[in-house]
Structure 1
Amino acid sequence: MDDAPRRTVPIKLDVPEERRGDLHQTKTQFLHCANRTSEWAWRYDDYCITSKSKAENALYGELREETDLTANLVQKGIRRAIEAVTGGVEKLKQGEKTSQPEFDSWSVVYDKRSATFNDDHATLSTPNGRVTCEYVLPPEDEREGTPFGRYYERDDWDASSATLQYDEQGDTFYLHVTLKNPDYVVDGTERQEASHDDETPENGVVLGVDLNVTGAFAVTSTGAFLGSADHLNHKRDQYEQRRGRLQQVGTRSAHLTIQSLGSRFSNWSLDWLHNRANDLIEEAQDADVDGIIFENLNHIRENIANGSKFQQWTYAKFMELVEYKVESTELFVDTVNPAYTSQRCSHCGFTHEDNRDDKQFACQSCGYEVNADYNAAKNIANRYCGYIHRGQKSRSGWANSQLALKSGTLNVNGDYTPTELLG
Structure 2
Amino acid sequence: MADEYLYRTAITRLRVEESDLRLLERTIDEFRRGCQLAVDRGFPGVTEKLALQSRVYDEVRESTELKSQHAILATHRAAEAIAGVRDRWSAGRQASKPRFTSPTVPYDARTMTLFDDGTVSLTTVEGRVRPELVLPEDDDGYQYRYLNTDRWSVTESSLTVRDGEFYLHIGFRRPKEQLAAEDGAVLGVDFGVENIAVTSTARFFSGREATHERRQFDRRRASLQQTGTRSAHRTLQQLSGNEERRHRQRLHEIANGIVEEALRHDCSTIAVEELTGIRDELPEATWFHIWAFRQLREYLRYKAAASRIEVVSVNPRDTSKGCSDCGHVADGNRRSRGHFCCVACGSEANADYNAAKNVALKHVHRGPQSSRGTGTRQCALKSGTVTANGTFVPG
Give TM-score, length-normalised by structure 1.
Answer: 0.55
> Does the residue aligned with 2:367 lie in a helix, a strand or coil?
helix
Q: Work out which of the residue numbers 197, 212, 215 in structure 2 matches 1:237.
A: 215
State the match for 1:406 in structure 2. 382
Instruction: Find the aligned partners of 1:249 and 1:105 in 2 and give their Cα distance.
Output: 46
| One-letter amino acid matched to 1:403 | C
Task: Tell me the residue number matched to 2:157.
Answer: none
Shift of 1:278: 1.1
Post-superposition shift, 1:50?
7.5
Higher mean C-alpha deviation, range 359-368 or range 325-334? 325-334
Distance, in Å, in 1 between the alignment partners of 2:371 and 2:34 is: 39
Deviation at 1:47, TM superposition (A): 5.1
- The structure-2 alpha-carbon separation of the partners of 1:306 and 1:107, relative to structure 1 and needing over 3 Å to count, comes to same
Distance 1:349 1:323 in 2: 29
Please give the alpha-carbon distance, in whole angstroms, between the structure 2 residues aligned to 1:220 and 1:88: 45
Question: 1:213-224 counterparts in 2 under 5 A?
Answer: 213-214=193-194, 216-224=195-203
Read off the aligned partner of 1:367 and give its amino acid letter. G
CA deviation after TM superposition for structure 1 residue 371, in Å: 0.7
Judged with a 3 Å threshold, the aligned counterparts in structure 2 of structure 1 residues 83 and 225 are, in CA distance, closer, same or farther, namely farther
- Which residue in 2 is equivalent to 1:291? 269
Q: Distance in 2 between matches of 1:278 and 1:266?
A: 18
How far residue 296 of structure 1 moved from its aligned partner, in angstroms, is 0.8
Q: In structure 1, list runs of 5 or more residues that go unmatched.
A: 6-42, 56-79, 110-181, 185-193
**Structure 2-normalised TM-score?**
0.59
C-alpha distance in structure 1 between counterparts of 2:354 and 2:88, whole Å: 48
Aligned 8 A contact 2:281 2:318 in 1? no
Residue 250 of structure 2: SS of its match in structure 1?
helix
Measured against aligned partners, the alpha-carbon deviations of 1:293-336 in whole angstroms (never above 9, x if no partner) come to 10112122454436632111100000100111112202111111
Measured against aligned partners, the alpha-carbon deviations of 1:324-381 in whole angstroms (never above 9, x if no partner) come to 1112202111111111111111111111110002211111111111111111111111
Correspondence for 1:371: 350
Identity %: 37
Corresponding position of 1:350: 328
Query: What is the aligned partner in structure 2 of residue 161 from structure 1?
Result: none
Contact 1:360 1:370 in 2 (8 A): yes
**In structure 2, distance between residues paired with 1:397 and 1:240:** 48
How many angstroms apart in 1 are the aligned matches of 2:3 and 2:380?
30
Give the equivalent residue in structure 2 for 1:175: none
> Is 2:344 aligned against 1:381?
no
Counterpart check, 1:204 vs 2:184: yes
Task: Find 1:90's aligned residue among 44, 53, 60.
Answer: 53
C-alpha distance in 2, partners of 1:103/1:269? 33
Structure 2 alignment gaps of length 5 or more? 6-31, 59-78, 93-174
- The code of the aligned residue for 2:36 comes to I
4+ long deviations beyond 6 Å? 80-83, 199-202
Aligned with 1:388: secondary structure? coil
Query: Could you say what the CA RMSD is over the residues aligned between the two structures, in angstroms?
Result: 3.7
Task: Name the structure 1 match of 2:247.
Answer: 269
Offset of 1:81 from its aligned partner?
7.2
- 1:105–1:208 distance in 2 versus 1, CA, 3 Å: closer
Determine if contact 2:281/2:320 at 8 Å carries over to the other structure.
Answer: no
Structure 2 partner of 1:127 = none
Secondary structure at 1:311's aligned position in 2? helix
Secondary structure in 1 aligned to 2:235? helix
Aligned to 1:207, the other structure's residue is in SS state: strand
Tell me what 1:159 maps to.
none
